[in-house]
Structure 1
Amino acid sequence: MKTLKLNDLLHIRQENELWFANNERSVFVSTKAFGAMQRDLIENIGINRMKTFFFKYGYQLGVEDAQEVAKKDSLNLLEKIQYGPIIHALKGHAKSHITEKEFEVEGNEIKSFRFKGVWENSYEAEQHLKNFGISQGPVCYTLTGYATGYVTGVVGVDVFFKELQCQGQGAPCCVWEGRLVSEWKDEAEEFFSYSKELPILKELEQTNEKLMLEKNNLALVSKTYNEMTNELIKGNNIDSILDILHKQNQYPIVVEDSRQHVLAYKGINLEDLESIRYTFSEIPDKKQCHSKVGIFSFENGTRLMTPIYLLGQVVGNCSFLYQRERTPNYEIDSMILDRLASICSLLFLKEKTEVESMEQVKGHFLEEIISGKYTQQEIMRKADFIQLDLSNHYHIVALTYKFLNTCDEKEFTLHKKTFEMVSAYLREEENINVLIGQRPDTLILLITEKQVPQQNLEKTTRALVSFLKKHIKNALFLAGISSQNSNILEAGVAMEEACSAVRLSSRDEPITLFGDLGMLGILINDQNEQAIKKMIRDYLGVLYENLDKNKLELIETLYHFLDQGGNLDQTAESLALSKSGLRYRLNKITDLLDCDLRDPQRQFQLMMALKALKIVEHERIKKILAE
Structure 2
Amino acid sequence: MANQFLSLNDQLHISKIDDLLYVNNNRSVLIQTSAFGILQRDLINNIGINRMKAFFFKYGWQLGEEDAQDIIMDQSLTLLEKILNGPYYHAAKGHVRARVTSHDLEMENGKVKTLRFKGIWEDSNEAEQHIRNFGLSTTPVCYTLTGYASGYVSRLVGEEVFFKEHQCVGAGDHCCIWEGRFLSEWKEEADELLLYSKELPILKELEQANKKLLIEKNNLAMVTSIHKELTDEIIKGNNISSILDIVNRRIEHPVIVEDIYFQEIGKKGISTENYEPIKKSFKVYLKKWNHRIDKVTIVRFENGHRLVTPIFLEEKVIGYCSFLYLNKEIITFEIDSMIIGRVSSICSVLINNEKIKLESKERIKGDFLEEIFSGKHPSEQEIRKKAGYIQLNLSGKYYVVKLSYFYRDGCEEKDLISHKNPYDGVYMFFKEKNISILISQRPDSLLLLVPVNQLEDQNIEHILHSLVNYLKKKVKYILFLAGISAISNNIAEAGSALVEAQSAVRLSTSEEPITTFNDLGMIGVLINQQNENAVRRIITGTLGKLCENTNRNKKELIETLYKFLVNGGNLELTADNLALSVSGLRYRLNKIMNLLGRDDLRDPNVQFQMLLALKALKIVDNEY
TM-score (norm 2): 0.79
Aligned CA distance change for structure 1 residues 531 and 208 (closer, same or farther; 3 Å) = same
* Counterparts of 1:118 and 1:605, CA distance in 2: 112
Which sections of structure 2, spanning at least 5 residues, go unmatched?
286-293
Larger deviation: 457-466 or 321-330? 321-330
For 1:391, give the aligned amino acid.
S
Secondary structure of 1:610's counterpart equals helix
After TM superposition, give the deviation of residue 53 of structure 1 in Å. Answer: 0.9
Contact conserved, 2:4 with 2:85, CA < 8 A, in 1? no
Partner of 2:365: 362
Aligned CA distance change for structure 1 residues 441 and 5 (closer, same or farther; 3 Å) = same
Aligned CA distance change for structure 1 residues 139 and 572 (closer, same or farther; 3 Å) = farther
After TM superposition, give the deviation of residue 71 of structure 1 in Å. Answer: 5.2
Partner of 1:625: none
Larger deviation: 226-235 or 64-73? 64-73
Partner of 2:288: none
State whether structure 2 residue 392 is matched by structure 1 residue 388. yes
For residue 616 of structure 1, the aligned residue among 599, 608, 620 is 620
Larger deviation: 408-417 or 530-539? 408-417
* Counterparts of 1:188 and 1:156, CA distance in 2: 18
Pairs within 5 Å for 1:85-100:
93=96
Partner of 1:423: 427
After TM superposition, give the deviation of residue 52 of structure 1 in Å. Answer: 1.1
For 1:478, give the aligned amino acid.
L
For residue 383 of structure 2, the aligned residue among 379, 387, 404 is 379
After TM superposition, give the deviation of residue 158 of structure 1 in Å. Answer: 2.2
After TM superposition, give the deviation of residue 80 of structure 1 in Å. Answer: 6.0
* Counterparts of 1:170 and 1:549, CA distance in 2: 82
Contact conserved, 1:104 with 1:113, CA < 8 A, in 2? yes
Partner of 2:291: none
* Counterparts of 2:336 and 2:379, CA distance in 1: 59
Partner of 1:38: 40
* Counterparts of 2:464 and 2:372, CA distance in 1: 22
Pairs within 5 Å for 1:364-513:
364-372=367-375, 373-404=377-408, 411-427=415-431, 429-452=432-455, 456-513=459-516
Partner of 1:527: 530
Which sections of structure 1, spanning at least 5 residues, go unmatched?
283-290, 622-627
Partner of 1:514: 517
Once the two structures are superposed, residues 544-576 of structure 1 have per-residue CA deviations (whole angstroms, 9 ceiling, x without a partner) of: 212233432433444445556656666566555
Once the two structures are superposed, residues 218-265 of structure 1 have per-residue CA deviations (whole angstroms, 9 ceiling, x without a partner) of: 444334333333333233333434444455555444433333333334
* Counterparts of 2:572 and 2:48, CA distance in 1: 80
For 1:51, give the aligned amino acid.
K
After TM superposition, give the deviation of residue 206 of structure 1 in Å. Answer: 4.8
For residue 262 of structure 2, the aligned residue among 260, 263, 275 is 260
Contact conserved, 2:557 with 2:592, CA < 8 A, in 1? yes
After TM superposition, give the deviation of residue 597 of structure 1 in Å. Answer: 5.6
For 1:438, give the aligned amino acid.
Q
Pairs within 5 Å for 1:175-324:
180-182=182-184, 188-193=190-195, 195-248=197-250, 250-274=252-276, 277-278=279-280, 292-296=295-299, 302-322=305-325
Partner of 1:540: 543
State whether structure 2 residue 361 is matched by structure 1 residue 350. no
Pairs within 5 Å for 1:574-585:
574-575=577-578, 585=588
For 1:60, give the aligned amino acid.
Q
Pairs within 5 Å for 1:328-343:
329-343=332-346
Aligned CA distance change for structure 1 residues 85 and 539 (closer, same or farther; 3 Å) = farther
For 2:230, give the aligned amino acid.
M
After TM superposition, give the deviation of residue 364 of structure 1 in Å. Answer: 1.6
Secondary structure of 2:5's counterpart equals strand
* Counterparts of 2:437 and 2:88, CA distance in 1: 95
* Counterparts of 1:153 and 1:447, CA distance in 2: 94
The sequence identity of aligned pairs, in percent, is 54
Contact conserved, 1:368 with 1:374, CA < 8 A, in 2? no
Aligned CA distance change for structure 1 residues 271 and 599 (closer, same or farther; 3 Å) = closer
* Counterparts of 2:610 and 2:497, CA distance in 1: 27
Secondary structure of 2:482's counterpart equals strand
* Counterparts of 2:526 and 2:166, CA distance in 1: 94
Once the two structures are superposed, residues 24-75 of structure 1 have per-residue CA deviations (whole angstroms, 9 ceiling, x without a partner) of: 8685754x66555433321111122112112112323443454466456577
For 2:5, give the aligned amino acid.
K
After TM superposition, give the deviation of residue 323 of structure 1 in Å. Answer: 5.6
* Counterparts of 2:570 and 2:137, CA distance in 1: 81
Contact conserved, 1:4 with 1:13, CA < 8 A, in 2? no
Aligned CA distance change for structure 1 residues 129 and 550 (closer, same or farther; 3 Å) = farther
* Counterparts of 2:41 and 2:411, CA distance in 1: 58
Pairs within 5 Å for 1:549-568:
549-562=552-565
For 2:341, give the aligned amino acid.
D
Secondary structure of 1:495's counterpart equals helix
Secondary structure of 1:309's counterpart equals strand
* Counterparts of 1:479 and 1:274, CA distance in 2: 35
Secondary structure of 2:454's counterpart equals coil
After TM superposition, give the deviation of residue 301 of structure 1 in Å. Answer: 5.2
Contact conserved, 2:61 with 2:148, CA < 8 A, in 1? yes
Larger deviation: 339-348 or 4-13? 4-13
* Counterparts of 2:478 and 2:122, CA distance in 1: 73
* Counterparts of 2:461 and 2:168, CA distance in 1: 80
Secondary structure of 1:400's counterpart equals strand
Contact conserved, 2:96 with 2:122, CA < 8 A, in 1? no
After TM superposition, give the deviation of residue 444 of structure 1 in Å. Answer: 0.6
* Counterparts of 1:159 and 1:4, CA distance in 2: 23
